[in-house]
Amino acid sequence: MKNTSLTALGGIITALSIVFMFMSSLIPFMTYIVPAFAGLLLIVTVEEVELKWSAYIYIAVSVLSILVIADKESAVMYAFFFGYYPFVRSFLDKRIKNRVVNKLIKFLIFNVGVVLGYLLIIYVFAIPLEEMEEFGKYTNLVLLGLGNITFVFYDIVVSNLSYIYDKKCHKQIVKIFKF
């Protein structure tokens, strides 16, 4: 593959991801939806090129999001989970054939990423989360549990979109970028 084609594809995916991330600042209730969609864009590079190119895009979008996006919570959620999950999922699915172990590792990665992300939000960006205390002392655990349920659906979406991309879009992308 030509580096110019890879750079062009990477630039397009990065730009589209940043545009998605800006939407979280415009529409406040999309704090989690927007980074999830931005992460899904990486499916193209995960399927077409080496994982290192996906990692470069992820790093670029993460850094730019944290620097320029007003909704820091959305930027952190991209950086600490949604941005890297498509290529981590691809890596795990190729290497770990035992489904139970595969799922457990995915849940561990999700939970560690979300907890570290929220610690960063609370202690580094000093975004107060006092309103969560109004619902009781177990609110954080309930929200983490709901996040895990949502993660199951996100994993299914990433898996299905990867399959659809492979069957429907792969040929067009290869033709456009002449890989």
Q: Are 143 and 132 in contact (CB under 8 A)?
A: yes
* Structure token pair of residue 125: 């960006």
Smallest CA-to-CA distance from 69 within 124, 115, 27, 23 is with 23
Q: Is the pLDDT of residue 1 over 60?
A: no
Domain assignments of the chain as residue spans, ordered by start: 3-177
Q: How far is CA 140 from CA 51, 107, 108, in A?
A: 34, 17, 17
Model pLDDT for residues 21-68, shown as the tens digit of each residue: 999 888 877 888 999 999 999 998 888 887 888 899 999 999 999 999
pLDDT of the residue at 155: 94
23 CB-near residues (< 8 Å, 6+ apart): 30, 34
Helix (H) / strand (E) element for 126: namely none
Q: What is the DSSP string of 61-110?
A: HHHHHHHH-S-HHHHHHIIIIITTHHHHHHHHHHH---HHHHHHHHHHHH
pLDDT of the residue at 171: 83
Which whole number is the average pLDDT over 10-29? 90
